[in-house]
Amino acid sequence: MSESSLLNANLCRHLQDAAEHSTDLLAVAVQHAKGQHYSYEELTFGQLHQQSDHMAFQLNQAGIQKGMKAVLMVTPSIAFFNLTFALFKAGIVPILVDPGMGIKNLKQCFAEAKPDAFIGIPKAHIARRVLGWGKETVKHCINVGGNGLLQALAGCKTLPSTPSATTKPYPMVKLAEDDMAAILFTSGSTGTPKGVVYSHKMFEAQISALKQDYGIQVGERDLATFPLFSLFGPALGMASIVPDMDASKPIKANPQHLFAAIEQYQCSNMFVNPALLERLGAAGEQTQHKLTSINRVISAGAPATISSIKCFSNMLHPGVEVLNSYGATESLPISKIQSSQLFTTTDTTDTGGGICVGHAIEGVEIAIIDITESVIELWDDSLTLPANHIGEIVVKGPMVSQQYYQRDSATAAAKIADNKVMRHRMGDVGYLDEQGLLWMCGRKAHRVDATQQGEFLKRYFSIPCERVFNTLPEVKRSALVAININNNVVPLLCVELNQSVNCSNSKALYKALNDIAEQYEHTKGIERFLIHPKFPVDVRHNAKIFREKLAVWAQVKWKE
């Protein structure tokens, strides 16, 4: 097979196809809210295709060419869609970061990625100059104004700004399916942010999964609350309806804005993280709001609580499912479970069986191996543990990333070579039951291996332990951590109280906690409890507890 025949990958082919066959169909609508008054900017598939062609030409005129890497820091907007598709069309590698990861992590990400260009809104450029982001490598700076127009900075000439009706089609760059298409940095909420290399093959696999496993069809309209997922809309022939909200802080979103956008466009699909799911559910409960057009809800990012899913589901028609997806930036989606099935697992979860995250989607293979910190270079089927044994979750599939960018040691630690592809070690622990359902038991790094006089005593897993304590009405959430007492590693449970429940009797609470610990074999030995005023959690999901910070706090507090 010739080399030229292999160069046929570019996810923008889906946009090109939609522009040809559904030219006047809505592709993007961006909401602007002023109080309770709303306006919307819209693009059809034809307009999105033409305008992103024009921007691809602009980027080339500014000196940004195929193979270069470009940081993209633009809020969800018409310009965001145009620019992202323009970058892909031109074979320029976008570097996408979560602004909520913090200034220190952002600087590290840019230092590792070595971008050639920085494309952002004015606020992003101010931060770039003040904080020195990418100063060693960035040679092209493009400002994205409030009107979505591009302007080259640092004394360069202003770029052509108005798309012309006669603009010729951009000659879309075709690449090999395994070539780097984008660099997406992990959030850093459970460790140091790492740049995940996305190939065109990965994007194609994700698009295929959304079509086949989630049943998304051409002509649907999606309430897009997460920037990356919103890009899949146009690739699926589905309109992305972007509400007026800070996508990096969904917990602060105004539910009325989202409800208004859903009603205006009769959205059939929603992508929401657990924090937003809970916020919208609570708002709907207060106003008895109904989402009459929604027929599918996809939740991902962290495990949503069953109570919040049930509350949210009260707004939906009977039979409409909340699809809970499991995965990570390195591999998404991996498995899914419908809310109706999830509700049947409550008793198992509440007694320490972990959280059920469903069956593997089509084309994905899930395996459980012994927990180890060692590098595993080559895969062997003998590594696989039998059903119902807790171990490290390892996945294989076309949407699984093959490497981290410029992080050889991280790649070695997280990847296992299996013939010509890599399996990914999720960093989570769990087990497969006899029916092939995957049960999540927490992060590998969050397990507590208790010791006594230097000898291993017992292993505790975060989710199975915490969930049994969370059944107490006084407990909002809990977090298992390890502390050191006389050179022994000891489990300790941090507890955040439920403010809506009277918790004045601390002795009764501690007795209840101790009674639960003695009731289950997997929690026996947890004898120390500390009340924390408010757990440190990640901004985006409001669910990922920073246990590392709690462990430091608990160690100091216990000594006091």
pLDDT tops 90 at residue 448: yes
**Letter for the amino acid at 58?**
Q
Nearest-angstrom CA–CA distance, 204 and 347: 38
**For the ranges 366-375, 475-484, 537-546, which has the lowest average pLDDT?**
537-546
Pair 120, 143: CB distance under 8 Å: yes
pLDDT of residue 5: 43
309-320 pLDDT tens trace: 999 999 999 999
Average pLDDT over residues 41-63: 95
**Letter for the amino acid at 60?**
N
pLDDT tops 50 at residue 162: no
What b/e string do you get for 121-138 counting C-beta neighbours within 10 Å, with b at 16 or more? Answer: beebbebbeeeebbeeeb
Average pLDDT of the residues of the chain? 92
CA angle 406, 412, 416 (to 5 degrees): 130
- Interacting residues of 36 by C-beta distance below 8 A, sequence separation 6+: 256, 260
Average pLDDT over residues 6-16: 90
Q: Which two tokens stand for residue 427?
A: 């960093």
pLDDT of residue 167: 65
pLDDT-based confidence at residue 4 (cuts at 50, 70, 90): very low
The three-state DSSP-derived secondary structure of 119-166 is EECHHHHHHHHHHCCCCCCCCEEEEECCCCCEEECCCCCCCCCCCCCC
Q: What is the DSSP string of 347-413?
A: HHHHTT--EEEEEEPTT-EEEEE---SS---B--GGGBPPTT--EEEEEESTTB---BTT-HHHHHH
Pair 97, 124: CB distance under 8 Å: no
- How many other C-beta atoms are found inside a 10 Å radius of the C-beta of residue 147? 8
Average pLDDT over residues 387-403: 97
Q: Which two tokens stand for residue 455?
A: 């000898």
pLDDT-based confidence at residue 20 (cuts at 50, 70, 90): very high
Nearest-angstrom CA–CA distance, 443 and 547: 10
Taken in order 113, 118, 119, 124, the sign of the CA dihedral is positive
pLDDT of residue 553: 97
Pair 545, 484: CB distance under 8 Å: no
Tokens 């590392």 correspond to 548
- Give the closest residue to 261 by CA, choosing from 541, 47, 41, 79: 41
pLDDT of residue 154: 55
pLDDT of residue 540: 67
Between 464 and 559, the more confident residue is: 464
The rounded percent of the chain whose pLDDT value lies above 90 is: 80
482-526 pLDDT tens trace: 999 999 999 999 999 998 787 778 899 999 999 999 999 999 999
237-294 pLDDT tens trace: 999 999 999 888 888 899 999 999 999 999 999 999 998 999 999 999 999 999 999 9
pLDDT tops 90 at residue 463: yes
pLDDT-based confidence at residue 186 (cuts at 50, 70, 90): confident
What kind of architecture, by CATH, is found in domain 447-559?
Answer: 2-Layer Sandwich (3.30)
Average pLDDT over residues 20-36: 95
pLDDT-based confidence at residue 191 (cuts at 50, 70, 90): low
**For the ranges 57-71, 146-160, 338-352, which has the lowest average pLDDT?**
146-160
pLDDT-based confidence at residue 541 (cuts at 50, 70, 90): low
pLDDT-based confidence at residue 305 (cuts at 50, 70, 90): confident
64-79 pLDDT tens trace: 999 999 999 998 899 9
Query: Can you give the residue ranges of every domain in the chain?
Result: 447-559
pLDDT tops 70 at residue 3: no
